[in-house]
Structure 1
Amino acid sequence: MMKGKLTFYCRMLHVSRQAFYKYLQRKDRPWKYQKLADAMRDILKEDECNDTYGRSRMRDALLQKKPKDVDIPSERTVYRVMEEIGISHRPKRKPNGITKADKAARKSDDLLKRDFRSTEPLTKCVTDITEIKASDGKLYVSAMFDCFDLAVLGLAMATNMKAPLCAP
């Protein structure tokens, strides 16, 4: 290749001639993170649930497995290598809570004062609502617990989250 043509192509690609020659020197060199990338792929193949591994869980798995001839790098390097080989985990959904505070509503009194211990049965009872997503909608399950021995006093289910669901 003539020097004049090389200068023209480098200018067109916004690359210096020096960078082009450096590229020619190292283009056949193997990637320095190839063994690390192979170890990451092996971890993903071990179990089908491992595809949810992010950078911190992947680094922890590498530290636990200790693959041969692989130096475990920082979490940031693990992230970059995962991005490079296309195994970075993207959460499928953003959790959205069901509690929407009404700013104008009257605040309830904290009758238990965050003390959930009880010395006698049925003196302090609490309830909790759990939202379960089903194929045909949402199901809300409310359980009432006794603070004395954490026994379940009752369960209620409904397709809405209205006050009667929690009432005894």
Structure 2
Amino acid sequence: MKAELCVQTLDNAMASYPAFHGAIIHSDRGAQYTSDLYRRAITRYGICQSMNSAGGRCHDNARRESMWVRMKIELLFDRFNPKQLTVEQLKSLAKRYFMSYWNNRHICASNGSLPPMEKRNRFFAAQTMAA
């Protein structure tokens, strides 16, 4: 993949969905995403780039991809036609899904079969007890 293609994709997305200005885009550390051309484009659109913490950690991205796939399967595909929703409606659905369901009720195998917020609360409770 070339940086020019990635920049063209951003240009097309921004032309179609101006409300994406200021979005967060997650990527791996491929040369196309670390190029000066791509970085100038995301700066131009006010986009914050998120990528894995160090090279060679493909699992950082895999968890994010898994999370998005789950949301699409559980929330969108059987209930809504995303092409008929506005950007604001999609944002609202995604926010409610992650803030309400995913964080508080979704069982995550990587968290000992606990929802993320429960795992977090237990971690901080253990830290308090240890101190």
Compute the TM-score of the two structures, normalised by the length of structure 2: 0.26
Q: Between Structure 1 and Structure 2, which shows a larger proportion of helix residues?
A: 2
Q: Which has the higher contact order (CA 8 A, sep 6+)?
A: 2
Larger Rg: 1
